[in-house]
Amino acid sequence: MIPVATSPVRLEASVDPRLSRWMWLVKWLLAIPHYIVLVFLWIGFVVVTVIAFFAILFTARYPRPLFDYNVGVLRWNWRVSYYAHTALGTDRYPPFTLADVPDYPAHFDVVYPERLSRGLVLVKWWLLAIPQYIVVAMFAGGGWGGEGDWRGGGLMPFLSFVAVVILLFTARYPRHLFDFLIGLARWAARVTAYAALLTDQYPPFRLDQGGQEPSPASPSPADPLTKT
C-alpha cells in the first residue's frame, strides 16, 4: 500500500445532524453581509500576497502576520462557501472572524512553512499551477472563455444543487454526495493555497473525499523498513 502524503493544507467539514429542507433557498441572501466583507478582505488578500511575494523572493520566508491574514481570509471564505453554496451542509450562520472557530462545522488551515523556495515563487503561481487551474475550473465552472470556449457551470454547483433537492424531498443529505463535494472543495483549496504562495508542496492530482482530511497510511508491520 502506498502511503498517502500529508498535505499542509487542511480543509474539513461536517453535516448538521438536522438540516432544514428549505433554508438553502435563502442562504445566499442571508450571506450578503459576508459577501460585502469578503470583497474588502480579498482586496487585502491580493495586496498581502504581492508583499509576501517579494518577502519570499528576498528572505525565503513568508512573514507570519501576513501568512495568518491570508489563511484567515481563505478560512472565512470557506465557511461562507460551505454555508451558502458549496455543499450547504450547515444551517449555522458563519462567524465574522479570521480565526478558526472550533465548534463551527467547517474548518480550513495551512501549516506555516519555516522556509519557502525563492525560485519557485517566480513560477509556481502562474506556470506550474496551470494544469491544476484547468482541473479546478471544471470543478467550479465558468472557466476558460474566448470565442466558442467553454463557459458552462461546473461540477460543484451542479452536485450541490442535486444534494439540496434530495434534501428537500427526503429530509436527508446524501452522504456519498457530501463526501465527493468536500473532496472537490479540498482539491480546489490546495490549489488556491499553492497559487497564493502559502506552500511549496504541489497539490496532488488526487481526490481525497470525506469530511475529514485523510490520515497518512501507516507502514505495514511486515515492511522491512519498520524492523530494527
Look at residue 23 and give its three-state secondary structure.
helix
96-117 confidence digits (pLDDT tens):
999 999 999 999 999 999 999 9
pLDDT at 4: 63
Cell, residue 78: 470557506
Whether 228 has a pLDDT exceeding 70, the answer reads no
Q: How far is the C-alpha of 74 from the C-alpha of 149, rounded, in Å?
A: 29
For the chain, which residues make up each domain, given as ranges? 9-212
Q: How far apart are CA 168 and CA 203, in angstroms?
A: 35
pLDDT in tens, 170-208: 999 999 999 999 999 999 999 999 999 999 999 999 999
Other CB atoms within a 10 A radius of the CB of residue 148 amount to 6
The full DSSP string for 101-144 is: -TTSSEEEEEPPPS---TTGGGTIIIIITHHHHHHHHHHHB---
Cα 17 to the chain's mean position, in Å? 23
Q: Does 145 have pLDDT greater than 70?
A: no
